Each structure stands twice: as C-alpha cells, then as structure tokens.
Amino acid sequence: MTTSRRLLAYFKPYWGYLVLGILCTLVTTSVTLVVPWIIGKDLIDSVILKGKDLSLLNLIAVGLLALFVIKGFVSYGQTYLLSRVSYGVITDLRNSAYEHLQRLSLSFYKRKRTGEIISRLINDVDVIQNALVNEMGNLFGNALLLVGILAFIFYIHWRLSLLILLLVPVLTFTINKFSSWIKESSSSIRGKMADISSILQETVAGIEVVKSFTSEKREIKRFQEENIKNLQLSLKRTRIIALLSPLVEIMTLAGLIFILWYGGREVIKGSLSMGELVAFLGYVGLVLNPLSQISRAAGIYQQVIASAERIFEILDTQPEIKESSKAFKMPRIKGHVRFNNVYFAYDKGDRILENINLEVNPGEKIAIVGPSGVGKTTLVSLIPRFYDPTSGSITIDGYDIRDVSLSSLRNQISIVSQETILFSGTIRENIAYSKMDATEEEIIDAAKKANAHEFIINLDKGYNTQIGERGVKLSGGEKQRIAIARAILRNPRILILDEATSAVDTQSELLIKEALGSLMKDRTTFIIAHRLSTVQGVDKIVVLYKGKIEEVGSHKELISRGGLYAKLYNMQFNREDK
C-alpha cells in the first residue's frame, strides 16, 4: 500500500465531516464561478450595453451581495468541518505511533536515538498537520474551481480555450520536476531535525555532565553546526519553492496577454461579445490563484509524503518480543526460576551469554557478579522478557515465559536499578505508578517500608509535592527510596536489583539497604552488584566471566576455592583499604 493510501485510511472515521465540508466547498466554488458570468453576460451585455434597465441593475447588485454573504457563512462551515477532519486524522496518527512505540521491544530503543523518535512524533506529525489544516480544503476547492473555470471558458469560446490549454503540459512538467526536488530536500531536513533533537535531548538530560566538564562552548558549537546545516538545507528548499510560484505565474500571465490580444480581435470581428470577453478574462484571472495554490500544494504534498514515510517506518517496525497466539495468563507464582542452556546475542552479533544453566528456588537471594561487560544486566533482562534468548529457555514455576502473556509475567516482577526513573507529577503518583488503584493507606505503607515516609511528610506539600521532570527536585537517595516504595507497592514475587545502592551517599545507602531488606523478604531476588562487600549475605553468588557462569556458591565457599570471585574480592578489598 502506498504512503498516500495509508494516510487516507486515517480519514475513514471522519467521512461525515468530510462530506459536509465538501458540500460547503461545492457551494463556495459555485458562487465564485457564477459571479464572472453574471457580471459579463447579465450586467455588461444585458443591462449596461443593451437594456439600460436601472431596476435590473439594482437587482443584480443586491443578488451579488447576497451571494457573497451566503459564501461567507458556507466558507466558515467549510473551514471548521475540514479542520475537524484534519485535526482528528493527526490526533489518531500521533496516537497510533505512540501506542506502537509502547509495544516495541527494548532493542528498538537501543538502536534508535531518543531525539530521532521524538522528532518523528512531533516535527513530522506537525508537517502533516499544517498541510492538512491549511491546504486540504484549499486544494479541493481550487481543484473544483479549476474544473468549473475550464467548463465556462470552453462554453464561451472553445478555440481560445484550446490555445490556453497548450500551457497545461508545460505547467505540469514544471510542477512535477520541482516537486521531486522539494521531496528530496524535505527528507534531508527531517533527518537533520532528528540530529538536532538528539543533541538537544542528550545535552538537556546530561546538563550536569556538560557543566561539570565545562563543555558548554563545545556543545554550543556542535548544536550551531547542525543548526546551520539545517538552515542551509531549509534555504535550499525555500529557493526551490520560491522559484516555482513565479515561474507558474509568468507562464500564466503570458497566456493572459495572449487572451487580450486574441480576444480583442474576436470582439472586433463580432464573433465574441464584450461581456463574454470580460467574463472570459474574469475566469482566466481566477485561474491564477488556484493554479498557484495547486502548484504550492504539490510541493507541500511532497513534504507530507516524506514525513509520513518516516512515521510509517515506525509503525512498520515489528516488536521482537511478541506474545504467542496461545499465550495464557500466568497464575500467581512462587518464584522458582530456571535457565536452561540459555544463549543470547544482540542482533546476531557476538554472543553475550553462553550455555547458562541456573536454578533459583522461591525466596532465594542470588547475587550476580563479575567484571564489567560480562552480561550481568543482560542475564536478568531475560527474566521479564525484555529480550528473548537466542536459544534455550527460561521457566518460572515450570512455565516457559514465552508461553504466558507479557502482562501476567511482568506484573509479578519489580526492578530497582541504579538509574532511578521517575516521572513528572507528584510523589503519590510516582509511588502509585506500579498500582494505579492503590489506596492512600497502601501508598503510605509502601513509603514507610521504603524509609521514604519521613522525608516525604517534611516536604511542603507532602505526598502531593511535584517532583519535576525525572525527579530533579529530589536527591539521589530520595529518588531511590521512592522507586523502592513503588516496587514494594506492586508486591512482586520476583525482584531484580541492578546496582540499586551504588549512586548514593553512605547515609542514604544505609536507609536504602534497610528498605531493600523489607522488599526482598520472601521474594526471589536477583542482585547485580560491583561492590562484592554488599552481597556476602545472599544465598548464592553467581560469577559470570566472558558470558559464561564461572562459579556458583556462597561467599565463604567461593573465597575458599580461590577462583575468580576470590581474586575480584581481594582486589576490591585491597583497593578499599588503601
């Protein structure tokens, strides 16, 4: 299906508004078409040159005024109805794109820059919106007007009309050529805007890093360079668009001059009346605007197609993690997790995990340790099916996680990571994010268990305090405790802690550890940690090395073996003592 047809499919729910808008357009176009005829044939030929009837002159004047009043009212209806269609289409298109983004797998977000995704949902949709709102009604009305004008001029003098139509192939070729150039330029601009959005998103999100390394000038220069490239591309497209309209206008005016010369001869010869020539000139004068608008719309259409293709590219992206057609709802689990010969690689590249066989009993606390880049986070990301193993399987309470619905699986898992993600809104809303129907008592109880209640009630508005985007108004420890309260409220059976205490101060770490103790109680827990001193009390430590399980055992067992874990522990212990 072509991009145009796919875009038209979004008009289907609004056919009623569209039909009424088209009817209004027919009325306004009809009034526009009949006016030159009334002026030429009735006013000039019948009244001024022949009848010289003042009462008829008055009637024609009042009739023309009434027509323009009717046209004004109907034009209002046309603008409102067609705008209603346009805004509805854009709203549905943006909703579809956002809804689809929520379905896509994490791998998509690893490949695509955040700024590029935002650019497609904001900038590209805006291009389509502006085109539909500002051009859709005009384009349809101008097309009708052009057809009506051709009908009238052929009726008045068909030979003169044929000569005028010789301009049409030239105009068509010119418009098509320029349109292809405009589409190419528009695609380049959209891509450059994605680059600018990415820089903006990165520097705003990482403003503390930028300032700490005094990189403001470097980032300003980088942004300005991309912005100037966008300016150059925009000016190139503007030159093309700006050249198209005068070319069309020059060719049209050349035709008008020819009409004056040839039509004047026909009047002198008596084969054309003065009123008919005036009407003919009036219709040709009306041609200028619709032709210019249609040529402009052709250029805008190419911009729309370029933007629509970028949006449909997102909609065509298939999630890599899909539910089976026979997926069933997994019942409340105990938390028995088993990895069976699991292998994993990103995008068919080098293997990240190899031959992982691991059994975790309900309520056990498992620490996953090892050097950086060995696949610790990847391993635990397989449990909620953020990714699927390249081969092998993972079962929970005997259920293959690929056979159950994603919601029933993920609803029983909570993740607390090093980078705490909070949303703009109140503290209450952020805690309740894991359970939207939670009562006030449940929210407060979760906050108390997370050691967050005390600092929350000391804020000016307590639980109703707005935390700002990504929780910028809170300290790292406060944000982490809210994230823990959110996890507690969910009451998960499986808990994943990914460096949950590594980015906070010592005092906050003690409070967080105490909160995590409440959270981990009677839950199967996977703990990723770089500081080995924090995992000595777990039931089992899994040591990963080069994507494989190197060792498994308790802290004492692994130390006594003198293997990789003992070496890593001694290195850290000696470093901390210095």
53 lies in some domain: yes
429 and 304 in a common domain: no
The yes-or-no verdict on residue 505 having pLDDT over 60 is no
**CATH number where 442 lies:** 3.40.50.300
183 and 63 in a common domain: yes
447 lies in some domain: yes
**Phi/psi of residue 510, nearest 5 degrees:** -65, -45
Q: What is residue 574's predicted lDDT score, i.e. its pLDDT?
A: 64
Of 465, 491, 517, which residue constitutes the final position of a domain?
491
Q: 299: which DSSP letter?
A: H
190 lies in some domain: yes
Beta bridge partners of 414: 495
Q: pTM above the 0.85 mark?
A: no
Q: 242-272: per-residue pLDDT in tens?
A: 888 787 777 767 777 777 788 888 878 878 8
326 lies in some domain: no
Q: 373-402: per-residue pLDDT in tens?
A: 888 889 999 999 999 999 999 999 999 999
Q: What is the mean pLDDT of the chain?
A: 83
Q: 22-62: per-residue pLDDT in tens?
A: 899 889 888 888 888 888 777 777 777 666 667 777 887 88
Q: What is residue 372's predicted lDDT score, i.e. its pLDDT?
A: 83
Higher pLDDT, 49 or 556: 556
The yes-or-no verdict on residue 568 having pLDDT over 80 is yes
Q: 65-107: per-residue pLDDT in tens?
A: 888 898 899 989 988 998 888 889 888 998 998 998 888 888 8
Handedness of CA 130, 132, 136, 137 (dihedral sign): negative
How many domains would you assign to the chain? Answer: 2
Mean pLDDT check: name the lowest of 339-343, 563-567, 570-574: 570-574
The yes-or-no verdict on residue 330 having pLDDT over 90 is yes
β-pairing, 494-498 vs 413-417, is parallel
185 and 64 in a common domain: yes
Structural domain of 424: 420-491
385 lies in some domain: no
Q: 48: which DSSP letter?
A: I
Rounded Cα gap, residues 91 and 98, in angstroms = 11
Burial class (CB in 10 A: 0-12, 13-18, 19+), 52: exposed
545 lies in some domain: no
Nearest to 375 by CA among 352, 351, 348, 401: 352
516 lies in some domain: no
Q: What is residue 213's predicted lDDT score, i.e. its pLDDT?
A: 62
225 and 83 in a common domain: yes
The yes-or-no verdict on residue 526 having pLDDT over 90 is yes
Of 470, 491, 512, which residue constitutes the final position of a domain?
491
424 and 312 in a common domain: no
**CATH number where 46 lies:** 1.20.1560.10
Of 446, 474, 491, which residue constitutes the final position of a domain?
491
DSSP E strand stretches across 300-442: 337-345, 351-360, 365-369, 391-396, 399-400, 413-417
Q: 174-216: per-residue pLDDT in tens?
A: 776 777 788 788 878 877 887 888 788 778 777 766 776 677 7
Question: Kindly report the CA angle at 424 between 419 and 430, in degrees rounded to 5?
Answer: 70
424 and 288 in a common domain: no
Rounded Cα gap, residues 360 and 269, in angstroms = 104
153 lies in some domain: yes
Find out whether 339 and 497 touch, Cβ atoms under 8 Å: no
Nearest to 32 by CA among 143, 133, 132, 131: 143
Nearest to 252 by CA among 308, 223, 293, 312: 293
13 and 129 in a common domain: yes
